[in-house]
Amino acid sequence: MTATKYLSVIDKDGKVAKGKDPNLDAEELRRLYRVMVTTRVMDERALVLQRQGRIGFYVPATGQEASHIGSAYALRDSDWIFPSYRQPGIPLLRGAKIDHLIAEWYGYEGDICKGRQMPVHYSLRSIHFVSVSSPIGTQISHAAGCAMAMRMRKHDGVAMTYFGDGATSSNDFHSGLNFAAVYRAPVVFVCENNHWAISVPVSAQSGTEEMAVKAEAYGMPGVRVDGNDVLAVYRVCKEAVERARRGEGPTLVETVTFRMGPHSSSDDPSKYRDAATVEQWKRRDPIQRFQRYLQQRRLWNEAFEKECQESARATINEAIKRVEATNKPAPRTMFEDVYMTMPPHLQEQMQDLLSLEGPAAADEGAFPL
Amino acid sequence: MTATKYLSVIDKDGKVAKGKDPNLDAEELRRLYRVMVTTRVMDERALVLQRQGRIGFYVPATGQEASHIGSAYALRDSDWIFPSYRQPGIPLLRGAKIDHLIAEWYGYEGDICKGRQMPVHYSLRSIHFVSVSSPIGTQISHAAGCAMAMRMRKHDGVAMTYFGDGATSSNDFHSGLNFAAVYRAPVVFVCENNHWAISVPVSAQSGTEEMAVKAEAYGMPGVRVDGNDVLAVYRVCKEAVERARRGEGPTLVETVTFRMGPHSSSDDPSKYRDAATVEQWKRRDPIQRFQRYLQQRRLWNEAFEKECQESARATINEAIKRVEATNKPAPRTMFEDVYMTMPPHLQEQMQDLLSLEGPAAADEGAFPL
Amino acid sequence: MTVMTLIQAVNDALKHEMRRDDRVVVFGEDVGVKGGVFLATEGLQAEFGKDRCFDTPLSECGIIGTAVGMALYGLRPIPEIQFLDFIYPAFDQIVSEAAKMRYRSGGEYTCPMVIRSPYGGGIKGGHYHSQSAEAYFCHTPGLKVVIPSTPADAKGLLIASIRDEDPVMFLEPKRIYRTLKQEVPEGEHVVPIGKGRIVREGKDATVIAYGAMVGICEQAAELAAKEGRSVEIVDPRTLVPLDEPLILDSVRKTGRCVVVYEAPRTCGYGAELAAIVAEKAIEYLEGPIVRVAGFDTPFPYTLDNLYMPDARRVLRGIQKTFQW
Amino acid sequence: MTVMTLIQAVNDALKHEMRRDDRVVVFGEDVGVKGGVFLATEGLQAEFGKDRCFDTPLSECGIIGTAVGMALYGLRPIPEIQFLDFIYPAFDQIVSEAAKMRYRSGGEYTCPMVIRSPYGGGIKGGHYHSQSAEAYFCHTPGLKVVIPSTPADAKGLLIASIRDEDPVMFLEPKRIYRTLKQEVPEGEHVVPIGKGRIVREGKDATVIAYGAMVGICEQAAELAAKEGRSVEIVDPRTLVPLDEPLILDSVRKTGRCVVVYEAPRTCGYGAELAAIVAEKAIEYLEGPIVRVAGFDTPFPYTLDNLYMPDARRVLRGIQKTFQW
Ligand SMILES: Cc1ncc(C[n+]2csc(CCOP(=O)(O)OP(=O)(O)O)c2C)c(N)n1
Ligand SMILES: Cc1ncc(C[n+]2csc(CCOP(=O)(O)OP(=O)(O)O)c2C)c(N)n1
Ligand SMILES: [Mg+2]
Ligand SMILES: [Mg+2]
Query: Degrees (nearest 5) of the Cα angle A103, A107, A112?
Result: 60
For the segment B278-310, what is each residue's pLDDT rounded down to a tens digit?
Answer: 999 999 999 999 999 999 999 999 999 999 999
Question: Element (H or E) spanning B65, and its range?
Answer: helix B65-72
Residues of C in contact with D59 (CB under 8 A): none
Structural domain C197-320, CATH architecture: 3-Layer(aba) Sandwich (3.40)
Q: What percent of chain D has pLDDT over 70?
A: 100
Structural domain D2-184, CATH architecture: 3-Layer(aba) Sandwich (3.40)
Residues of B in contact with A206 (CB under 8 A): 178, 181-182, 218-219
Q: Which amino acid is at C271?
A: A
What is the model's pLDDT at position D169?
99
**B193-217 b/e with 16+ CB inside 10 Å = b?**
bbbbbbbbebebbbbbebbbbbbbb
* B365, pLDDT greater than 80: no
C217 Rama sector, left if φ>0, alpha if ψ -120 to 50, beta otherwise: alpha
Mean pLDDT of D111-120: 98
What is the model's pLDDT at position C150?
98
What is the model's pLDDT at position C324?
73
Sequence ranges of chain C with CATH classification 3.40.50.970:
2-184
For the segment B166-201, what is each residue's pLDDT rounded down to a tens digit?
Answer: 999 999 999 999 999 999 999 999 999 999 999 999
Nearest C-alpha neighbor of D167 from the set D237, D96, D112: D112
pLDDT averaged over every residue in chain C: 98
Does the N-terminal peptide bond of residue A269 adopt cis geometry, omega within 30 degrees of 0? no
Q: Which amino acid is at B276?
A: A
By DSSP bridging, strand B187-193 and strand B251-256 are parallel
Q: Which of D41, D58, D128 is most worth mutating to test chain A (most A CB atoms within 10 A of its CB)?
A: D58
For ligand 2, mutation pick of B84, B118, B136 (most atoms within 8 Å of CB): B136
HSE (side-chain half, CA atoms, 13 Å) at D57: 31
What is the model's pLDDT at position A2?
39
What ipTM describes this predicted complex? 0.98
Question: D253 pLDDT band (50/70/90 cuts)?
Answer: very high
CB D37 to CB A357 under 8 A? no
What is the model's pLDDT at position D15?
98
Q: What percent of chain A has pLDDT over 70?
A: 98
Question: B359 pLDDT band (50/70/90 cuts)?
Answer: confident
Atom index in ligand 2 nearest the CA of residue C88 equals 1
For the segment C202-232, what is each residue's pLDDT rounded down to a tens digit?
Answer: 999 999 999 999 999 999 999 999 999 999 9
CB atoms closer than 10 angstroms to residue D182: 17
CB D305 to CB A206 under 8 A? no
C-alpha–C-alpha distance, residues B341 and A43, integer Å: 56
Angstrom CA distances, B368 to A164, B32, C305, stand at: 42, 34, 18
C-alpha–C-alpha distance, residues C299 and A13, integer Å: 68
Question: B12 pLDDT band (50/70/90 cuts)?
Answer: confident
Ligand 1 centroid to A42 CA: how many Å? 22
CB A343 to CB C241 under 8 A? yes
* A367, pLDDT greater than 50: yes
Tell me the helices (H) and strands (E) count for chain C, helix number first: 12, 14
C-alpha–C-alpha distance, residues A217 and A263, integer Å: 29
Q: What percent of chain A has pLDDT over 90?
A: 92
What is the model's pLDDT at position B17?
85
CB–CB contacts below 8 A, A to D: 156
Question: A362 pLDDT band (50/70/90 cuts)?
Answer: confident
**What is the DSSP track for C103-155?**
HHTTTSS----EEEEEESS-SS-GGGS----HHHHHTSTT-EEE---SHHHHH
pLDDT averaged over every residue in chain A: 96
CB B191 within 8 A of CB B252: yes
Ligand 1 centroid to A47 CA: how many Å? 19
Taking a contact as any Cβ pair under 8 Å apart, which residues of chain C between 180 and 209 contact chain D? none
Mean pLDDT of A139-148: 98
Question: Element (H or E) spanning D171, and its range?
Answer: strand D168-173
Angstrom CA distances, D142 to B203, B347, D8, D110, D245, stand at: 39, 14, 29, 10, 21
3 state SS of D109: coil
Nearest C-alpha neighbor of A264 from the set A84, A92, A7, A69: A84
Sequence ranges of chain D with CATH classification 3.40.50.920:
197-320
C-alpha–C-alpha distance, residues A33 and A39, integer Å: 10
CB A160 within 8 A of CB A241: yes
By DSSP bridging, strand D238-240 and strand D144-146 are antiparallel
* A4, pLDDT greater than 60: no
For the segment C84-101, what is each residue's pLDDT rounded down to a tens digit?
Answer: 999 999 999 999 999 999
CB B149 to CB D107 under 8 A? no
Q: How far is C73 from chain A (nearest CA, A)?
A: 6
What residues does B164 pair with on adjacent strands? B192
Is the torsion defined by CA of B316, B322, B326, B332 positive or negative?
negative
CB B167 to CB C58 under 8 A? yes
Q: Which domains does chain B have, with CATH numbers?
A: 26-324 (3.40.50.970), 331-363 (no CATH)
pTM, 2 dp: 0.98
Residues of C in contact with B270 (CB under 8 A): none
Mean pLDDT of B20-39: 96
* D294, pLDDT greater than 90: yes
Distance, C-alpha A224 to centroid of its chain: 18
C-alpha–C-alpha distance, residues D204 and D253, integer Å: 8
Q: What percent of chain B has pLDDT over 70?
A: 98
Is the torsion defined by CA of A220, A226, A230, A231 positive or negative?
negative
CB A195 within 8 A of CB A258: yes
Cβ contacts of residue A175 below 8 Å, gap of 6+? A141, A144, B169, B171, C57, C59, C61, C62, C65, C66
What is the model's pLDDT at position B148?
98
At how many degrees (to 10) do helices A65-72 and A26-51 cross?
130
Distance, C-alpha A284 to centroid of its chain: 19
Question: A352 pLDDT band (50/70/90 cuts)?
Answer: very high
Interface of D with B (CB under 8 A): 25, 51-52, 56-57, 59, 61-62, 65-75, 77, 89, 92-93, 96-97, 101-110, 141-142, 144, 165-166, 194, 240-242, 244
CB B227 within 8 A of CB B193: yes
Query: So which residues of B are the catalytic ones?
Result: 259, 263, 272
C-alpha–C-alpha distance, residues A225 and B100, integer Å: 57
What residues does B197 pair with on adjacent strands? B200
* D215, pLDDT greater than 60: yes
Is D189 assigned a catalytic role? no
What is the model's pLDDT at position A3?
42
CB atoms closer than 10 angstroms to residue C186: 12
Q: How far is C26 from chain B (nearest CA, A)?
A: 15
What is the model's pLDDT at position B2?
39
Output the residue whose Cα is nearest ligand 2's atom 17: B164
